[in-house]
């Protein structure tokens, strides 16, 4: 199965379905397994959701011209690359030695109430102690590592869908 030969619409809708499935799994693991997301996990969910929305709109619109596809490609690359950055930072924090892990901070809901959004984003991206905790692994990779892998794969899908000559 050569996904690069699929139509722009099919590739975008596949990307949307992957984002929806990943968010669904994150919610399942939270509510069924009791794995509470840290602030970096929540930001990764937001990035997957933003990427999924762009891909859904792109897939439903399915412009015929290369310019329209390129615009959707750039719009999709923004949350995909932000997600790569957040997930990479999260993976890095999980691999820090115990004595170098940042202290745990207040819950995200409290930070949102007490601080301006820019300050919350800055604090979350620096990470905290709860972000270093690995509660779940599959095939030797933690959830942040899987997120990073999926962001990279989705970025490649976006590049293929939006910028491949047809």
For the stretch 32-44, pLDDT in tens is: 998 888 888 888 9
Q: Is the pLDDT of residue 132 over 80?
A: no
Contact partners, residue 68, CB within 8 Å, separation at least 6: 61
Please give the share of the chain, as a percent, with pLDDT higher than 70: 83
Give the model's confidence band at 21: pLDDT under 50 very low, under 70 low, under 90 confident, else very high: very high
Mean pLDDT of 94-98: 76
pTM of the model: 0.82
Give the model's confidence band at 104: pLDDT under 50 very low, under 70 low, under 90 confident, else very high: low
How far apart, in Å, are the Cα atoms of 49 and each of 26, 45, 46, 56, 87?
A: 12, 6, 5, 10, 14
Q: Is the pLDDT of residue 92 over 90?
A: no
SS3 138: strand
Residue 1 CB: number of other CB atoms within 10 A?
4
Q: What is the pLDDT of residue 121?
A: 67
For residue range 54-70, list pLDDT tens digits in order.
999 999 998 887 898 99
Q: What is the pLDDT of residue 127?
A: 57
Domains, in order of start, for the chain = 3-163 (1.20.1550.10)
CA 41 to chain centre: 9
Mean pLDDT of 97-122: 67
């Amino acid at each position: 199965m050569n996904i690069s030969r699929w139509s722009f619409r099919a590739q975008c809708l596949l990307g949307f379905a992957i984002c929806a499935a990943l968010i669904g799994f994150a919610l399942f693991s939270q509510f069924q397994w009791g794995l509470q997301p840290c602030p970096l996990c929540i930001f990764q969910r937001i990035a997957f959701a933003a990427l999924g929305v762009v891909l859904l709109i792109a897939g439903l619109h399915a412009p015929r011209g290369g310019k329209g596809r390129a615009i959707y490609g750039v719009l999709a690359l923004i949350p995909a690359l932000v997600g790569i950055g957040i997930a990479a930072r999260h993976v890095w924090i999980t691999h820090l030695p115990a004595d170098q892990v940042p202290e745990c901070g207040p819950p995200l809901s409290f930070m949102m109430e007490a601080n301006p959004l820019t300050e919350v984003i800055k604090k979350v991206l620096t990470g905290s102690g709860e972000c270093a905790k690995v509660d779940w692994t599959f095939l030797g990779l933690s959830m942040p590592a899987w997120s990073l892998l999926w962001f990279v794969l989705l970025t490649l899908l976006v590049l293929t869908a939006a910028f491949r000559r047809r």
